Amino acid sequence: MKFYNLTTLGMGGKLTLLVSSIASILAPIQALSVCIILFILTDFAFGLIVSVRVKKQGFISKKAYHTIWKLIGAEVCVLLAWVLDVHVLTFMPTLFLPNIFTGLICGADLWSILTNFAILSHHPIFRVIKKWGRCEIENKLGVDLAVELEKNN
């Protein structure tokens, strides 16, 4: 068996080591990570299309950085939920915390994708879903989303 010294590896070897190390950490939640990446990148792509076609803004690098940080934050949260579920809460039956977190993250992005479809297509089904969801959220939370979103922007 051959052992490698980290100092003798070239840049490609170090990069391979880094990528494989990260992949090995994420291996238990690989499917969940792929789902998160798929949903966030799809939301980003349709958001970019809406930005170019409807808002006439084009690509804004500041918003792209928000997407990168959202992706990193989502992956870290799911990873930490997995650590909590498997290694910390060992006295309890499995709670499937990473699955729940992934569902929440993907659900929020799915909502954003549906909103983008409603803007792009003007199809009645997407407008109905958007209106129904907005009413449900406002009724459950007891807030006006237009006011809250304006405060956050």
- In angstroms, the CA 138 to CA 115 distance is 16
Q: Virtual CA dihedral for 76, 81, 84, 90, nearest 10 degrees?
A: -150
CB atoms under 10 Å from CB of 16, counted, come to 12
- In angstroms, the CA 20 to CA 96 distance is 25
pLDDT per residue as tens, the chain (153 positions): 566 666 667 777 778 888 888 778 778 888 999 999 999 999 999 888 888 877 666 667 777 788 889 999 999 999 899 989 888 888 888 788 999 999 999 998 988 888 888 877 777 777 777 777 677 667 766 767 666 656 655
Is the Cα torsion angle 103, 108, 111, 117 positive or negative in sign?
negative
Residue with tokens 């970019």: 48
Report the pLDDT value the prediction gives residue 100, as an integer from 0 to 100. Answer: 92
Report the pLDDT value the prediction gives residue 8, as an integer from 0 to 100. Answer: 67
pTM surpassing 0.75? no
Report the pLDDT value the prediction gives residue 71, as an integer from 0 to 100. Answer: 92
- In angstroms, the CA 148 to CA 40 distance is 23
- In angstroms, the CA 109 to CA 40 distance is 6
Q: Fill in the DSSP letter of residue 90.
A: T
Q: How far is CA 93 from CA 48, 80, 89, in A?
A: 42, 17, 8
Q: How far is CA 61 from CA 81, 124, 150, in A?
A: 30, 32, 21
Residue boundaries of the structural domains of the chain: 11-121, 123-153
Q: How far is CA 35 from the centre of its chain?
A: 8
Cβ–Cβ under 8 Å, residues 59 and 128: no
Report the pLDDT value the prediction gives residue 150, as an integer from 0 to 100. Answer: 65
Report the pLDDT value the prediction gives residue 122, as an integer from 0 to 100. Answer: 73
CB atoms under 10 Å from CB of 59, counted, come to 9
